[in-house]
Amino acid sequence: TEVGDTAKQYLQKGLLVPDHVITRLMVSELETRSTQHWLLDGFPRTLVQAEALDRICDVDLVISLNIPFETLKDRLSRRWIHPSSGRVYNLDFNPPQVLGVDDITGEPLVQQEDDKPEAVAAKLRQYKDAAKPVIELYKTAPQCDEDGVGSEQVTSGPEAV
Protein backbone atom coordinates (compact mmCIF):
# COMPACT_ATOMS: atom_id res chain seq x y z
CA THR A 1 0.00 0.00 0.00
CA GLU A 2 1.00 3.63 -0.33
CA VAL A 3 1.07 4.14 3.44
CA GLY A 4 3.10 0.93 3.82
CA ASP A 5 5.66 2.21 1.31
CA THR A 6 5.89 5.49 3.21
CA ALA A 7 6.51 3.62 6.48
CA LYS A 8 9.16 1.47 4.79
CA GLN A 9 11.09 4.57 3.70
CA TYR A 10 11.38 5.73 7.31
CA LEU A 11 12.40 2.29 8.56
CA GLN A 12 15.09 1.90 5.90
CA LYS A 13 16.65 5.14 7.15
CA GLY A 14 16.60 3.86 10.74
CA LEU A 15 13.95 6.39 11.76
CA LEU A 16 10.80 5.91 13.79
CA VAL A 17 7.71 6.05 11.60
CA PRO A 18 5.72 9.27 12.34
CA ASP A 19 2.48 8.96 14.29
CA HIS A 20 0.18 9.86 11.39
CA VAL A 21 1.74 7.18 9.15
CA ILE A 22 1.99 4.28 11.61
CA THR A 23 -1.42 5.01 13.12
CA ARG A 24 -3.10 4.98 9.71
CA LEU A 25 -1.34 1.73 8.84
CA MET A 26 -2.15 0.00 12.13
CA VAL A 27 -5.74 1.18 12.47
CA SER A 28 -6.66 0.05 8.96
CA GLU A 29 -5.14 -3.38 9.60
CA LEU A 30 -6.69 -3.81 13.05
CA GLU A 31 -10.13 -2.84 11.79
CA THR A 32 -10.01 -5.85 9.45
CA ARG A 33 -9.24 -8.09 12.44
CA SER A 34 -11.83 -6.77 14.87
CA THR A 35 -13.24 -10.23 15.61
CA GLN A 36 -9.86 -11.89 16.11
CA HIS A 37 -7.39 -11.99 18.98
CA TRP A 38 -4.00 -10.41 18.38
CA LEU A 39 -0.84 -9.21 20.08
CA LEU A 40 0.92 -5.95 19.25
CA ASP A 41 4.65 -5.50 19.71
CA GLY A 42 5.98 -1.94 19.52
CA PHE A 43 2.61 -0.26 19.05
CA PRO A 44 1.49 2.08 20.47
CA ARG A 45 4.73 3.95 21.12
CA THR A 46 3.25 7.41 21.64
CA LEU A 47 0.17 8.91 23.28
CA VAL A 48 -1.29 9.82 19.87
CA GLN A 49 -0.99 6.17 18.78
CA ALA A 50 -2.45 4.89 22.08
CA GLU A 51 -5.45 7.19 21.81
CA ALA A 52 -6.08 6.04 18.22
CA LEU A 53 -5.88 2.41 19.34
CA ASP A 54 -8.29 3.05 22.21
CA ARG A 55 -10.83 4.52 19.76
CA ILE A 56 -11.08 1.25 17.84
CA CYS A 57 -10.69 -1.42 20.55
CA ASP A 58 -10.45 -2.22 24.23
CA VAL A 59 -6.97 -3.09 25.44
CA ASP A 60 -7.15 -6.32 27.45
CA LEU A 61 -3.58 -6.53 28.72
CA VAL A 62 -0.40 -4.46 28.72
CA ILE A 63 2.98 -6.17 29.00
CA SER A 64 5.71 -3.91 30.27
CA LEU A 65 9.30 -4.96 29.67
CA ASN A 66 11.59 -3.27 32.18
CA ILE A 67 15.02 -3.72 30.68
CA PRO A 68 17.95 -1.49 31.63
CA PHE A 69 19.06 0.98 28.93
CA GLU A 70 22.59 -0.46 28.73
CA THR A 71 21.26 -4.01 28.37
CA LEU A 72 19.02 -3.01 25.47
CA LYS A 73 21.78 -1.05 23.81
CA ASP A 74 24.18 -4.00 24.11
CA ARG A 75 21.64 -6.53 22.79
CA LEU A 76 20.55 -4.43 19.83
CA SER A 77 24.01 -3.28 18.81
CA ARG A 78 25.24 -6.88 18.62
CA ARG A 79 22.63 -7.80 15.97
CA TRP A 80 23.78 -8.64 12.43
CA ILE A 81 21.66 -9.71 9.46
CA HIS A 82 21.96 -11.55 6.19
CA PRO A 83 20.28 -9.03 3.86
CA SER A 84 18.91 -11.30 1.14
CA SER A 85 17.32 -13.86 3.49
CA GLY A 86 16.55 -11.70 6.51
CA ARG A 87 18.29 -14.16 8.85
CA VAL A 88 19.20 -12.44 12.10
CA TYR A 89 22.22 -13.23 14.24
CA ASN A 90 23.17 -11.89 17.65
CA LEU A 91 26.80 -12.15 18.66
CA ASP A 92 25.77 -13.18 22.20
CA PHE A 93 22.61 -15.28 21.77
CA ASN A 94 22.72 -16.66 18.23
CA PRO A 95 26.19 -16.08 16.78
CA PRO A 96 27.11 -17.19 13.26
CA GLN A 97 29.51 -20.14 13.07
CA VAL A 98 32.06 -17.82 11.44
CA LEU A 99 32.09 -14.20 12.59
CA GLY A 100 30.58 -11.91 9.93
CA VAL A 101 29.48 -14.76 7.63
CA ASP A 102 26.00 -16.24 7.06
CA ASP A 103 25.84 -19.89 8.18
CA ILE A 104 23.91 -21.06 5.12
CA THR A 105 25.19 -19.06 2.16
CA GLY A 106 28.64 -17.98 3.34
CA GLU A 107 27.76 -14.43 2.30
CA PRO A 108 28.76 -11.44 4.45
CA LEU A 109 26.52 -10.27 7.28
CA VAL A 110 25.78 -6.59 7.73
CA GLN A 111 24.88 -4.43 10.67
CA GLN A 112 21.99 -2.12 9.86
CA GLU A 113 22.61 1.57 10.49
CA ASP A 114 19.91 1.66 13.17
CA ASP A 115 21.60 -1.24 15.03
CA LYS A 116 24.89 0.59 15.49
CA PRO A 117 25.49 1.63 19.13
CA GLU A 118 25.11 5.39 18.57
CA ALA A 119 21.84 4.96 16.65
CA VAL A 120 20.47 2.50 19.21
CA ALA A 121 21.24 4.91 22.05
CA ALA A 122 19.51 7.80 20.24
CA LYS A 123 16.43 5.70 19.44
CA LEU A 124 16.17 4.45 23.02
CA ARG A 125 16.31 8.00 24.41
CA GLN A 126 13.62 9.09 21.94
CA TYR A 127 11.48 6.05 22.80
CA LYS A 128 11.80 6.63 26.54
CA ASP A 129 10.52 10.21 26.22
CA ALA A 130 7.60 9.20 23.98
CA ALA A 131 6.66 6.13 26.05
CA LYS A 132 6.17 7.88 29.40
CA PRO A 133 2.65 9.18 28.61
CA VAL A 134 1.65 5.81 27.11
CA ILE A 135 2.74 4.01 30.26
CA GLU A 136 0.73 6.49 32.34
CA LEU A 137 -2.34 5.97 30.15
CA TYR A 138 -2.26 2.20 30.55
CA LYS A 139 -1.32 2.17 34.26
CA THR A 140 -4.87 1.15 35.16
CA ALA A 141 -5.09 -1.62 32.53
CA PRO A 142 -4.42 -5.22 33.58
CA GLN A 143 -0.67 -5.58 33.32
CA CYS A 144 2.05 -8.15 33.23
CA ASP A 145 5.40 -6.70 34.25
CA GLU A 146 8.58 -8.43 33.07
CA ASP A 147 11.93 -7.48 34.52
CA GLY A 148 13.87 -8.35 31.36
CA VAL A 149 16.60 -10.47 32.92
CA GLY A 150 18.36 -12.97 30.68
CA SER A 151 17.05 -16.51 30.29
CA GLU A 152 20.08 -17.96 32.12
CA GLN A 153 19.23 -15.85 35.16
CA VAL A 154 15.57 -16.84 35.07
CA THR A 155 16.21 -20.57 34.80
CA SER A 156 18.93 -20.61 37.44
CA GLY A 157 17.10 -18.41 39.96
CA PRO A 158 15.57 -19.72 43.19
CA GLU A 159 12.11 -19.97 41.63
CA ALA A 160 13.28 -21.91 38.56
CA VAL A 161 11.00 -24.79 37.72
End-to-end CA distance of the chain: give it in Å, rounded. 46
State whether 140 and 65 are in the same domain. yes
**What's the pLDDT at 149?**
60
Pairwise CA distance, residues 3 & 150, whole Å: 37
What is the domain count for the chain?
2
Domain limits at 22?
Answer: 1-59
* Residue 26, number of CB atoms within 10 A of its CB: 20
User: pLDDT tens-digit profile of 104-142?
Assistant: 999 999 998 888 888 888 888 888 888 889 888 888 776
User: pLDDT tens-digit profile of 58-79?
Assistant: 888 888 777 888 888 888 889 9
State whether 143 and 111 are in the same domain. yes
Sign, CA torsion 96/101/106/109? positive
CATH code, domain carrying 130: 3.40.50.300
161 domain-assigned: no
Whether residue 32 is predicted with pLDDT greater than 90 in this model: the reply is no
Mean pLDDT of the region 135-150? 70
**22: which residues sit within 8 A by CB, 6+ positions away?**
7, 43, 45, 49
User: pTM for the complete prediction?
Assistant: 0.65
